[in-house]
Amino acid sequence: MSSSQTATVQILQSPREDQRVEVLLEQGEGVSRVALRYSTWTDGLGWCSQKTIHLDGDQLDDLHHALAVARQRINRQRADAGGQVATMGQVIQLPTLA
């Protein structure tokens, strides 16, 4: 893609402070695609890109589905091991006034 524009959608921090994944949106020549960029921190240089994966718009739904399946499997393994399962939110019952 020549003369493309890139915008950062989100930076995903890692439990390790020297690693991160950037989600980027690249647009150029009438085509939009997403890039996932894995970077590591190097003293004296800053953030250095190690790997970049480009995804066409058609691949995003499949990636989203695959990540949801992986998250469900991890949550199931945690629950089976007695650990805490990550949830989107929790509904609590509030007392009612009569």
pLDDT (tens digit, 9 = 90+) per residue, 45-91?
999 999 999 999 889 999 999 999 999 999 889 888 886 666 666 66
- Nearest Cα to 40, choosing from 26, 24, 19, 21? 19
CB neighbours of residue 37 within 10 Å: 19
pLDDT the model gives residue 1: 46
Q: What is the pTM of this model?
A: 0.70
CA-based nearest residue to 12, from 90, 67, 74, 89: 67
pLDDT score for 19: 96
How is the chain split into domains, by residue range?
5-80
**pLDDT computed for residue 92 by the predictor:** 67
Q: Which fold has domain 5-80?
A: Nuclear Transport Factor 2; Chain: A, (3.10.450)
The arithmetic mean of pLDDT across residues 24-36, rounded, is 92
